[in-house]
Amino acid sequence: MRITIYLNFMINQVLEKSGRATLLLFLFLNCSPCFAQSERIDVGILSGKKITRLLVAPVSDVYSVFAGDSLLTLIKRNDALSLTLMNDSVEVKTIAQTFGTFKRVQIMALSKQASLKIKPADGKTETHLDNDLFINPGKNSLTIINHADLDNYVAGVVEAETGYSAPEEYYKIQAIMCRTFAIESKGKHKADGYDLCDREHCQVFKGRNNRKPEIKLAVAATSGIVLVDSTNKPIFAAYHSNCGGQTDYSENVWKTEKSYLKPVVDTFCISSRNANWQKIISLHDWEKYLVKQNKEYIKPADSLYCFYQPERKSDYNLFGSKISLTQVRKDFKLSSTYFHIEQDADNIIFTGRGLGHGVGLCQQGAIEMARKGYSYKKILGYYYKGVRLVNYSQTRN
């Protein structure tokens, strides 16, 4: 691999220039793991933010800084690197030296365990990242890419998407869903120069999993495992907070039918935090909304707005007004599409169940199942029908 050549070159250079024996010894002791790279993913960090100057500092181990094929320098703990957007290039500086401006900067870890922190020069929040960092000049901002081991990325996503109070078995479920999503969606942001962004648009990723060692263990215990459908393709592993007692058809939300995303009756989540909600709006606003949706709409005299969903439906269909429930949810910022409507004098009362789109795995239901002792395999099979668990190397992408 290319890094082998660089490593030899770099060691010679360090010997010639500084004779830093300790650093050299460190390189020899630590270089071997970086040759055995596992599956990598490129994640856009602080994506959507305008960042023109970034500070980078290793937390552990040593990093080599490359611009294209040239080694610029080595940085280690307590060193700091400054990267500034200059038109269509990136200027690279340390406190002691300015190296010039470049089209692409790669900050490469010399061991698998290495991590670094980044901070926008005008911001307060630091982001702690594993593995390598690539910096490209974007139009008005630096493009920051974490070139990370898939499992390190998955652990960070599980921490951001799940929090800290779930049982250990549940972290395995979340790890498999996040890994499956990553494999299924790899390259989604090809035009931006990376695979996935770090926002809700793809999966929330706030950096390295630091606070919950159980997450790392769950990711390691399920390493490489993804969910596939009957054609051996990684599934679209949709999940949501709480289904309210029944999950939904994928076509009700995204217009695309998936054999494994069908309604499941779920009694495990109905006592959870997000199981019930209510929202009241004025009758005037509701009628105005219906007219806006359908100009022909005329409400029959003395009729009440009552709409019930003993089972999940796809549309609100009353007095000739047909609107998708997904649209109603979006327009009134409702917690879910699983609601009844009743009228009380001049008010419309939405009484709903669940939180989120309702398709696929219900997180609060799955957490409850895990607490009751169900295995991660059983729980995944409960929410995703007819799927199998395989190593991603056996999948058809």
Name the region of 345 (left: φ>0; alpha: ψ -120 to 50; beta: rest). Answer: left
For 387, how many CA atoms within 13 A lie in the half-sphere containing its CB? Answer: 31
Nearer to Zn ion, 269 or 325 (CB): 269
Distance CA 79, CA 219 (A): 31
Residue 31 is classified by DSSP as: S
Residue identified by tokens 């790279």 is: 37
Q: How far is CA 227 from the centre of its chain?
A: 17
CB nearer to Zn ion: pick between 273 and 330 = 273
Residue 34 or 379 having the CB closest to Zn ion: 379
Cα(201)–Cα(95) distance, integer angstroms: 37
Q: Tell me the closest approach of the beta carbon of residue 102 to Zn ion, in angstroms.
A: 26
Closest approach of Cβ 244 to Zn ion, in Å?
7
Contacts with 388 (C-beta within 8 Å, 6 or more apart), sequence order: 227, 228
> In three state form, how does the secondary structure of 209-233 look?
CCCCHHHHHHHHHCCCEEEECCCCC
Q: How far is the CB of 93 from Zn ion (least distance, A)?
A: 31
Decide: 383 and 362 in contact? Cβ < 8 Å. yes
Residue among 61 and 248 whose Cβ is closer to Zn ion: 248
What pairs with residue 352 in β-bridges? 277, 339
- Nearest approach in angstroms of CB 245 to Zn ion is 6
Name residues whose C-beta falls within 8 Å of residue 332's C-beta, 6 or more positions apart in sequence: 279, 281, 350
Rounded least distance, CB 265 to Zn ion, Å: 9
List residues binding Zn ion (CB under 5 A).
Answer: 197, 201-202, 243, 266, 269, 362, 365
How far, in Å, CA of 69 to CA of 262, rounded?
51
Q: Which is nearer to Zn ion, 175 or 366 (CB)?
A: 366
Q: Closest CB to Zn ion among 187 and 320?
A: 187
* CA-CA-CA-CA dihedral for 226, 388, 254, 193, to nearest 10: 20
Nearest approach in angstroms of CB 71 to Zn ion is 32
User: Residue 120 Cβ, how far from Zn ion at the closest point, in Å?
Assistant: 20
Shortest distance (Å) from residue 371 CB to Zn ion:
14
159 vs 266 by CB, closer to Zn ion: 266
CA distances to 74, 287, 292 from 280, rounded to whole Å, are 61, 14, 19
| Least Å from the CB of residue 52 to Zn ion | 22
Instruction: Please report, as a single letter, which amino acid is at residue 179.
Output: R
The CA angle 319-324-327, to the nearest 5 degrees, is: 120
Closest to Zn ion by CB, 16 or 200:
200
Q: Which is nearer to Zn ion, 216 or 357 (CB)?
A: 357
Task: Say how far apart CA 397 and CA 179 lie, in whole Å.
Answer: 14
Measured CA to CA, the distance from residue 190 to residue 84 in angstroms comes to: 23
